[in-house]
Amino acid sequence: MKIELSRTAKNWQAKARAYADEYLQPHEVEAELNQGVLAEGVAERNKKRAVELGFSAIDVPKKYGGLELPMVEQVAIWEQMGRVTNALSWCFSEPQSWMFEACSKEQIDDYVLPMMRGERKDCYAITESGPGSDVAALEATAERDGDDYLLNGEKWYVTSANLADYFWFQARLPDEDDEALFLVDMSTPGIEMIANPLFSHTYAAHHPTYRFENVRVPASKRVGKPGDGMAYTHSWFRHERLMIGARCCGAAARLIEEATEFAANRIVGGEPLSEKQAIQFMLADCATELWAARLMTYEAAQASDRGENLKAVHNRCSMVKLYVSEAANRIADRAVQIFGGRGYMRENVAERFFRELRVDRIWEGTSEIQRLIIARNLLKRGLDDM
Ligand SMILES: Cc1cc2nc3c(=O)[nH]c(=O)nc-3n(C[C@H](O)[C@H](O)[C@H](O)COP(=O)(O)OP(=O)(O)OC[C@H]3O[C@@H](n4cnc5c(N)ncnc54)[C@H](O)[C@@H]3O)c2cc1C
């Protein structure tokens, strides 16, 4: 099942596949059985190699020493990383291009570029307990106090915060009737981790809850200019939703390959399981849905590379997130069924993906929220402009 890609995209795809196969995949079961944590030095080695290969610089503008790859090539890379369970591909941080538009020179030097070099790690704090999916109703505040801001609020599910050294913190500005993003060092007084719940997957990156109480940050830590509001968080959503699509395509491909191989070798009633039509139908549905998922994901990336209207691109990223995450979950469910009892063992890739892919229907906006975005686009802009 091939998507027509340029020579450079194929090269990146091959590089990412080799990295995923050689550096990440062999450590999946070890991670699963050790709360996501690998033997000493392995994650550091994997990060170093990822940075050497350029993966942390793919969305960084060339003028900042990055590779500035087209979205299609970035998707080709993240699709291959998506083949690996236990979020082992999160061993390196990756700045996104909007950060270079949003941030001051000082912020780029102190926070964004060190991520590209593998020296710093970020986490993104938007979600709160009350507003939940309704990110326009955030309650955390940033109040001006002389040359500083005082940040207050509680942020839930802050992915990777246990490994990160700074937050992107989204808050309301009561004095300006606006919203803004702040860069906040983890060590700033007034920040407290108040819960660190366990989740279905087994990742080294946790999703703790943080309380911010009168956290004082200089005004220079505010990102962007007055009026920017949630614009950069929307840029973050677009990027993440597209890359969730890419990773789900990779996961689905791996699941289909492994389930097909198992079905061809498992003898049931004197013949391979793959001879049973019930199994063939499941595999056929998986392959067909993956084909649709890949076409959508790559076309949305191409639309972004063509510089199409931002609202249309935003809408398509929502469609990709909705369709591809839901399809990947159906594919994981069928893969578990094909493996039978073996598919329920934690050492089996289908079992791990069955748990891991579930959250792709929840984070970065649930499937219901993506449907709301898509429906609003349809009603406002019409089918031709979506
Ligand atoms: C493992 C994990 C990691 C996460 N990482 C991060 C992170 O790093 N940073 C961060 O900021 N957030 C993070 N999140 C939060 C995630 O984005 C939210 O969980 C998600 O947006 C849903 O919000 P909620 O959990 O409050 O659900 P709720 O908003 O309470 O929704 C509950 C249910 O109601 C539905 N619903 C809500 N509103 C509507 C509506 N208007 N119409 C129809 N249905 C609706 C939802 O779709 C859902 O099914 C993470 C979550 C998880 C589980």
User: For 40-66, what is each residue's pLDDT tens digit?
Assistant: 999 999 999 999 999 999 999 999 999
Pocket probe for ligand 1: among 86, 122, 124, 127, the residue whose CB has the most ligand atoms within 8 Å is 127
Residue pair 379/64 in contact (Cβ under 8 Å)? The answer is no
For the chain, give the number of residues: 386
Ligand 1 neighbour 157 (Cβ under 6 A): yes
H-type alpha helices, the chain: 7-19, 28-33, 42-53, 71-81, 98-102, 105-107, 113-116, 231-265, 277-305, 310-339, 349-356, 367-381
pLDDT on residue 291? 98
Stretch 81-88: mean pLDDT, rounded? 98
Q: pLDDT category, 1, cuts 50, 70, 90?
A: confident
Ligand 1 neighbour 244 (Cβ under 6 A): no
173: three-class secondary structure by DSSP = strand
pLDDT on residue 79? 98
Q: What is the mean pLDDT of the chain?
A: 97
Pocket probe for ligand 1: among 237, 358, 362, the residue whose CB has the most ligand atoms within 8 Å is 362
Residues 6+ apart with CB under 8 A from 233: 126, 135, 170, 181
Stretch 128-157: mean pLDDT, rounded? 96
Looking at the chain, the whole-number percentage of residues with pLDDT higher than 70 is 100
Q: Which atom of ligand 1 is nearest to the CA of 170?
A: 11
Q: Which atom of ligand 1 is nearest to the CA of 127?
A: 11
Pocket probe for ligand 1: among 156, 157, 361, the residue whose CB has the most ligand atoms within 8 Å is 157
Of 84-88, 90-94, 120-124, 173-177, give the lowest mean pLDDT range: 173-177
Q: pLDDT category, 178, cuts 50, 70, 90?
A: very high
- CA–CA separation, 120 and 110 (whole Å): 9
Residue nearest (by alpha carbon) to ligand 1 atom 42: 368
pLDDT on residue 229? 86
- CA–CA separation, 165 and 352 (whole Å): 28
H-type alpha helices, 66-187: 71-81, 98-102, 105-107, 113-116
